[in-house]
Amino acid sequence: MKNTTFADRHPVALVIALIDVGIVLLASQCAYWFRFGEWMFRQDYVLVSGIVSLLVVFCSVFSGLYESWRGRSKQQLLRTLLLGWAIPFILLLVGFVFAKQAEAFSRFWVAGWFFLAVFAGGAFRLSLYLLLAVARANTRNTKSVLVVGDESQYDKVKYHFQRRPTYGYQVAGYLRLASEVTLSAGDKNALLQRIETDSPHEIWLCLPLAQAALVSPLLYTLRHNTSEIRFIPHMEDMALLNHRPRHIGDFLTLDLSCTPIDGSARIAKRLEDLILGAIISILILPVCLVIAIAVRLSSPGPVLFKQYRDGLNGKKIKVYKFRSMKLHQEAEGGVTQATQGDGRITRVGAFIRRTSLDELPQFFNVLQGRMSIVGPRPHAVAHNEYYKDLVESYMWRHKVKPGITGWAQVSGYRGETDTLEKMQGRVERDLWYIDNWSLGLDLKIIVLTIFKGFFHKNAY
């Protein structure tokens, strides 16, 4: 039998839910006092406060706020609280409108109530999170883990949680399976004996996907044990994107190559592109007019250079740039990358390429919805055809819209990719961006582009 923790023995989630109710009611009371200067509630305000406090608990349950946050970040905790607590107040405002009661209640009270509740609820949970982090760093309130698998994965797991003691996991032991194909009687006996000796809280099966067939016999061997059992497949050796579990119909699937920029995230990113794209387009309009005149005077030919690139899901899109080269004829199906000292580049073109000003017309592509401000840079179609068989998962860059700037560019992978290693480095950073996308990351990349993107040594 495993050792039990305090949370196993006592209804901690129920206590926190009751505290949440108290926080919401107290926030309502304080907001009422700020608005009306008195503590005695009107009866209709009491009723609304009670309903919203119950809705807060209800939404918190469904958002997973009362689940264990062991091993998860405080930022994720606070985001979940903000979302779970905002919904009841949104429902309250919608209810006021449909019931035609919007004028019967103070808007200042509702706004103050929401901000006080979220602030107090966040402060309570953050304090509790930090208190537990200190306790776990001092080896209290921890869970012991037995790792079953190969030695390399054990070393990685142990190193990870040794560096993060506040997560509350102690990797106490390791058992290596004798066979990679079948579970032998010796493995079964060794596993049961180790569990009897160590009494771990959790057992982690750290196996590569090729050994996934061992999971079923291991579970059968552990059928009389009450420890938490988790399967942690090796995925770091595979260029996967966004490996999340999800239900499709009656089947549990594991996403191996699916973009996280979907659903509400896609809406948020599109709004980001529309709002920032419109603002930036207005601000850069005078600069674009000056560049257009300079390009037109520098050499015969059109102001804009238009070329087809692969966009979202590999669909061809037309990308705009200020023309930076003299008119020339490429070999059919070929694209020659610009190199240092390239004679095709005009004097004006050299300046706008070095400062990335040639990319400004692509904000029109952003407003069209063909591109995003931040994303993997679109390569020439000929380059895609060449590199897709040389760089693993190369075409997975096209699971999102291409961008004017990207994580690869602010990480130093900008300009000519004259070696396979450079292209591999760029693709790795593009895939990392896709797998870790957030609005905050987009804003970080935009800021880094402003400070690091101009006058880059690799731009020519």
pLDDT tops 60 at residue 293 = yes
pLDDT band (50, 70, 90) for residue 26? very high
Compute the average pLDDT of residues 102-127. Answer: 90
Q: What pLDDT digit, counting tens, does each position of 316-325 carry?
A: 899 999 988 8
- What is the model's pLDDT at position 263? 74
Which residue in 122, 47, 60 sits closest to 92, CA to CA?
A: 47
CA angle 53, 107, 268 (to 5 degrees): 75
pLDDT band (50, 70, 90) for residue 417? low
User: What residue type is assigned to position 263 of the chain?
Assistant: G
Of 35-39, 104-108, 124-128, the range with the highest mean pLDDT is: 124-128
* Between 336 and 289, residue with greater pLDDT: 289
pLDDT tops 90 at residue 348 = no
- Token pair listed for 449: 């582009």
Q: How far apart are CA 241 and CA 273, in angstroms?
A: 23
Compute the average pLDDT of residues 382-408. Answer: 87
Q: Domain 143-237 classified CATH 3.40.50.2300? A: yes
pLDDT tops 90 at residue 3 = no
Q: How far apart are the first and last CA of the chain?
A: 66
- The pLDDT mean for the chain works out to 83
Q: Is 360 helix (H, G, I), strand (E, B) or coil?
A: coil
Rg (Cα) of the chain, in Å, rounded? 29
pLDDT band (50, 70, 90) for residue 135? confident
- Domain assignments of the chain as residue spans, ordered by start: 6-137, 143-237, 264-453
* Between 149 and 25, residue with greater pLDDT: 25
Estimate to the nearest angstrom the gap between the alpha carbon of 244 and the chain centroid: 12
Portion of the chain with pLDDT greater than 90, in percent: 24
pLDDT tops 50 at residue 452 = yes
Compute the average pLDDT of residues 147-151. Answer: 83
Q: How far apart are CA 151 and CA 153, in angstroms?
A: 5
- What is the model's pLDDT at position 1? 46
Got the DSSP string for 300-317? Answer: SS-SEEEEEEE-GGG-EE
Q: By mean pLDDT, which of 17-26, 27-36, 365-374, 409-418 is the weakest?
A: 409-418
pLDDT band (50, 70, 90) for residue 342? low
Q: What pLDDT digit, counting tens, does each position of 64-82 carry?
A: 888 877 777 788 888 888 9
Beta strand 202-206 pairing with 316-322 = unpaired
Q: What pLDDT digit, counting tens, does each position of 364-394 carry?
A: 999 999 999 999 998 888 888 888 888 877 8
pLDDT tops 90 at residue 33 = yes
Would you put residue 74 in left (φ > 0), alpha (ψ -120 to 50) or beta? alpha
Which residues are bridge partners to 308 per DSSP?
Answer: 318
Portion of the chain with pLDDT greater than 70, in percent: 88
In 139-263, alpha helices (H): 151-163, 185-198, 215-221
Q: How far apart are CA 310 and CA 313, in angstroms?
A: 8
pLDDT tops 90 at residue 124 = yes
Compute the average pLDDT of residues 203-229. Answer: 85
Compute the average pLDDT of residues 275-282. Answer: 92
pLDDT band (50, 70, 90) for residue 236? low
pLDDT tops 70 at residue 278 = yes
pLDDT tops 80 at residue 302 = yes
pLDDT tops 70 at residue 188 = yes
pLDDT band (50, 70, 90) for residue 25? very high
- What is the model's pLDDT at position 24? 94
pLDDT tops 60 at residue 240 = no
- What is the model's pLDDT at position 460? 46
Which residues lie below 8 Å from residue 368, measured CB to CB, with a gap of 6+? Answer: none
Compute the average pLDDT of residues 294-311. Answer: 88
